[in-house]
Amino acid sequence: MSAKQDLLNDAINEHRAFHESIHGLNEDHMREVWLGTWCVRDIVAHISGWQRELGPALERLARGEPPFPDARRYDDVDGWNARFADAQREMAVADLLLELDRVHEQFMHAAAQVPEERYAPGKTAWKIVELNSLQHYRDHAEQIRGWRASRDL
């Protein structure tokens, strides 16, 4: 299997594992603040926010264009994270979860369109997909599982 296919498959598996980590949580659990100022719903909004933001970069890479033609900067990660969480703060949890899956599907479709040669570890497409899907899902699922264990949920 190719590096690209391995990465995309791993991202899909981590998406599934993330869903398993939140399975069975009710609305109150999803809104309980436990990760600094964040709750599970904020984590979900944060993940979908990054994928919504960076999906178009993958689309541009697939067309052979620069991923960030407008010189947009992502140095202020905390600021972006807050924006993504705040933008969906009032959304119902059920809608937020549907949005996560919808954005994930679009992100993965865009990722699949990027040519194989753009997926060497360390290249831009690899970094975008690895950091904003696979790693996000893995890291946050681990945090959620730890929180659930501490609360016996």
Q: What is the pLDDT of residues 3-44, one digit of tens each?
A: 999 999 999 999 999 999 999 999 999 999 999 999 999 999
pTM for the model stands at 0.94
Domain region containing 100: 3-151
Total domain count for the chain? 1
Specify the CATH number for the domain of residue 10.
1.20.120.450
The pLDDT tens digits of the residues spanning 39-72 come to: 999 999 999 999 999 999 999 999 999 999 887 7
Beta bridge partners of 35: 38
C-alpha distances in Å from residue 52, one per residue of 19, 70, 146 = 18, 16, 27
User: What per-residue confidence (pLDDT) applies to 121?
Assistant: 86
Average pLDDT, the chain: 95
Q: List the one residue out of 103, 124, 125, 128 whose CA is nearest residue 114.
A: 125
Count of other CB atoms within 10 angstroms of residue 27: 11
